[in-house]
Amino acid sequence: MRPLPTAPLRTAVTQPFFIDLITRTDEARRGFETNPRVLQIVADGLSVERYRRLLLELYHVVWHFNPTCAAAASRLSDKHAEIRYFLYDHMMEEKGHEGWVANDLEVVGVSHSEVALYRPSNSILALNGYNYWSADRRHPCSVLGMLYALEVIASVYGGPIAAAIKESLLLEDDRGISFITSHITMDAEHMAELRLILNTIRDDESKVAITESATFNFEQFTRVLEAI
Amino acid sequence: MSATSVIPAALERPYKYLWLEWDQEFAVLTARICVKPIQCYSLAAMAELQQVFNDISANPGLVKHFVMASGAPGVFNFGGDLSLFVLLVRARDLDSLKLYARRCVDLVWWLENAAQVGVHTTALVQGDALGGGLESALLHHNVIFERNTQAGYPEVLFNLFPGMGAWHLTIRKGGFGIANDMILSGQIYTADQLQRAGLVDLVVDVGQGESALRKIVRSAHPRLRGTLTALQARRIAAPITYESLQSVVELWAVSALRLKDRDLRLMERLARAQVRKVGGAAEGAVEEIKRIELDTAWGFERTGLSEWSTLT
């Protein structure tokens, strides 16, 4: 008879980092998906005023996404060259996506000049500020934590949120929600690529920085949605 | 059984998703799982449960009875962590799906062999049990359901199947026909129906679960050695092998990876329904499964239900 499983708890050492990251950030991810305001958006959608506010806030996340990745790429050592190349490719794919947000805003009545004048909330300033600081001063690999959190939010939760907004605002096709809907599929692809690159991470210092960043991004993005 | 005693040092750890209770008189360890907001087998909760089992195995003779119960009102367990599955499927992460499944099998295997390490087990089910939640209950030597509990294997509704021992355990307790009906229909059953099917040993009125548990422990305790030997013999008569459990979970992981967007949306719908119930709504995942069955049978147009109309 096979002996009973009495081995000690499996830890990060014995499993790929992607699943370890999921486990370590499980509570923050669940905190996002079960936040009452997030649930309300999923259930009831948004008024046009709140949707405008959401997109205006998102614009600043998207606008600073590539510069944050660039800051991280420039500080990565050669031992993380593979991550640097991953970031180059990712930046190419994300280039210009702030324009998609601006186009959706135009559909719901916000002109490009109004977008340029919008001052993001303190929650967004804190989110972007943390991501720049973390890439620059904390550890450049932390940027992968930002990618992980944003791509989980887009690919896992983007669908229900987009569907609810579309219903509540009676939008046709993808008009006005093209940024969110296109990122559901796109970020599922990105998630598969991100998993592969995360599983190459071996050193604890990078793992800790990535975990911290993912946790912060989940929590701070929850604050952003709470405030709109 | 006496009132809750101080947990022995060998078993005490700072658990986050488990609440342990200890009864010194009969050496009963009760583990109440509480995973918020959805009562399910999250990776972290499973790691804690495995630690409890490891500690029991490492201290032979300390625990004579193990009881699995829930710390979440109205729910025993909803099984797999659906939002984790959605995440892993979208990341096309077969390795992590297999890893999750293997951890489940490790827990299954320990409970399946509990008599061999001198532990008599009971599941006290005081709320709904779906998928892996029902599988985990059936693993115990005694299965007590309170009468308002509903349970079933809804996985087929989203093109999956219960892979962590459901076939093995349901066939063993209820027979092939019952297993076929339950697993292939995705239907939800009442406690009385499950007792008639032979899957549940005892159905008691709501609020009577604890006293039924005490009776079982008091009755089994004086003849524990004989009972455990008989239960080991029962395993020999109707064996479940580690290898066959592993083969099924491998198939489960591969089939999970083939889930389509529609299937994942149904999973998300169930998860959201349960979150709403925790938030105070009257209906949760069980009611949502019944709606999905209706939607599937009649189509959204005929019932007037749609994925989003059911959310409001």
- Summarised one tens digit per residue, pLDDT across range A89-142 is 999 998 999 999 999 999 999 999 999 999 999 999 999 999 999 999 999 999
Determine the pLDDT at residue B297.
52
Question: What is d(CA B34, CA B220) in angstroms, rounded to the nearest whole number?
Answer: 28
Mean pLDDT check: name the lowest of A43-47, A183-187, B113-117, B272-276: B272-276
Determine the pLDDT at residue B295.
62
Domain ranges of chain A: 27-227
Q: What percent of chain B has pLDDT over 70?
A: 87
Mean pLDDT in residue range B223-232: 96
A36 touches chain B (CB under 8 A): yes
Beta-carbon separation of A4 and B51 below 8 A: no
- Secondary structure (3-state) at B270: helix
pLDDT band at A2 (very low <50, low <70, confident <90, very high): very low
Nearest-CA distance A20 → chain B (Å): 9
Determine the pLDDT at residue B305.
37
pLDDT band at B15 (very low <50, low <70, confident <90, very high): very high
Mean pLDDT in residue range B263-286: 69
Give residue for tokens 């079982």: B216
Determine the pLDDT at residue B277.
61
Question: What is d(CA B13, CA B15) in angstroms, rounded to the nearest whole number?
Answer: 6
Residues of chain A with C-beta less than 8 angstroms from the C-beta of B87: 22, 29, 152, 155-156, 191
Residues of chain A with C-beta less than 8 angstroms from the C-beta of B53: 5
- Dump pLDDT digits (tens) for B88-106: 988 889 988 998 999 999 9
- Dump pLDDT digits (tens) for A164-173: 888 889 888 8
Mean pLDDT of chain B: 88
B260 touches chain A (CB under 8 A): no
Question: What is d(CA B304, CA A69) in angstroms, rounded to the nearest whole number?
Answer: 47
Nearest-CA distance A141 → chain B (Å): 20
Cα dist from B157 to A173, B34, B89, B94, B296, whole Å:
28, 26, 17, 21, 9
Determine the pLDDT at residue B306.
36
Residues of chain B with C-beta less than 8 angstroms from the C-beta of A6: 54, 57-58
- Dump pLDDT digits (tens) for A38-94: 888 887 889 999 999 999 999 999 999 999 999 999 999 999 999 999 999 999 998
Cα three-residue angle B165-B204-B170, rounded to 5 degrees: 15
pLDDT band at B276 (very low <50, low <70, confident <90, very high): low
- Dump pLDDT digits (tens) for B136-168: 999 999 999 999 999 999 999 889 999 999 999
For an interface test with A, give the residue of B16, B38, B89, B93 to mutate (most A CBs within 10 A).
B93
Beta-carbon separation of B54 and A192 below 8 A: no
pLDDT tops 50 at residue A1: no
Mean pLDDT in residue range A171-190: 80
pLDDT tops 90 at residue B268: no
Mean pLDDT in residue range B248-269: 87
The ipTM assigned to this model is 0.73
pLDDT band at B45 (very low <50, low <70, confident <90, very high): very high
Question: What is d(CA B180, CA B171) in angstroms, rounded to the nearest whole number?
Answer: 9
Question: What is d(CA A36, CA B23) in angstroms, rounded to the nearest whole number?
Answer: 38
Residue among A34, A45, A31, A29 at smallest CA distance from A228: A45
Mean pLDDT in residue range B250-270: 86
Task: Report whether B214 contacts B175 (CB < 8 A).
Answer: no
Residue among B181, B158, B183 at smallest CA distance from B260: B158
Assigned CATH for B18-257? 3.90.226.10
- Among A2, A159, A188, beta carbon nearest to B265: A159
The reply to whether CATH 1.20.910.10 applies to domain A27-227 is yes
- Percentages helix, strand, coil for chain B, rounded to the nearest 5? 55, 15, 30
- Dump pLDDT digits (tens) for B49-91: 999 999 999 999 999 999 999 998 889 999 998 878 888 988 8
Determine the pLDDT at residue A181.
82
pLDDT tops 80 at residue A199: yes
Helix axes B166-174, B242-257, angle to 10 degrees: 130
Beta-carbon separation of B47 and A159 below 8 A: no
pLDDT tops 50 at residue B311: no
Task: Report whether B203 contacts B145 (CB < 8 A).
Answer: yes
Q: Give A57-79 as a DSSP string.
A: HHHHHHHHHHHHHHHHHHH--GG
Domain ranges of chain B: 18-257, 261-311
Determine the pLDDT at residue B236.
93
